[in-house]
Amino acid sequence: MVDFGTDGSYHGNTMTVFLDRKWRVATLTVLALWLLLVVTLSGCGGGKQIRFGEQTDRSELFDVVWVEPRIVLSDSLITLLRSERVDTLQADSRTSSQSPAASIDFEVSKYACDVDIDLLDERQNILRPLLVQNLAPGFYRLTFQPERLQEPSLPLGEYFLQVRYCGNRYVRNFVHD
């Protein structure tokens, strides 16, 4: 036998329910709206991801600091630096450290990643491969010294550095003057 109370609840042998249907719908609606608000504010909606080395509209506010960088490879044309991590500091306009003009930054996050870095002309045709190597995870910067390229020397103009790694492709331009 079920006994209905004056407050809309009913009393049975094993269960007591204190909320009527309208109250439950209202409560679930409030919970759903609260959850939506939390997800929206926490960023789970899929904001824009910025890759390491990519310029942003806030780049002038921060300088990238390499923590304990090591020279992985160096010859007359290129220098490859590697760091386990990088950090950012608020930029001071007097001591702002700009990366060299003919350089490209990238992050390898997978083990045993093949990396190809090429010098491209203004139409993005490959002029010369600069690096083909398997690299371990870390943050990298390849710096190219175009003035040291001989036979044939590199004419003045705009060029590109292209890095292909772990299924990614990133291109950065520089001017050789």
Instruction: Please report the pLDDT score of residue 32 as a whole number.
Output: 73
Instruction: Please report the pLDDT score of residue 113 as a whole number.
Output: 84
Mean pLDDT by 10 residues, the chain (177 residues): 57 50 74 69 42 52 78 91 82 58 89 90 92 92 88 86 92 90
- How far is 65 from 89, CA to CA, in rounded Å? 7
CA 54 to chain centre: 8
Instruction: Check: pTM over 0.85? Answer yes or no.
Output: no
Q: What is the CATH number of domain 59-176?
A: 2.60.40
**If 0-12 CB within 10 Å is exposed, 13-18 middle and 19+ buried, where does residue 43 land?**
exposed
Digit-coded pLDDT (tens) for 71-96:
999 998 999 999 988 877 776 665 54
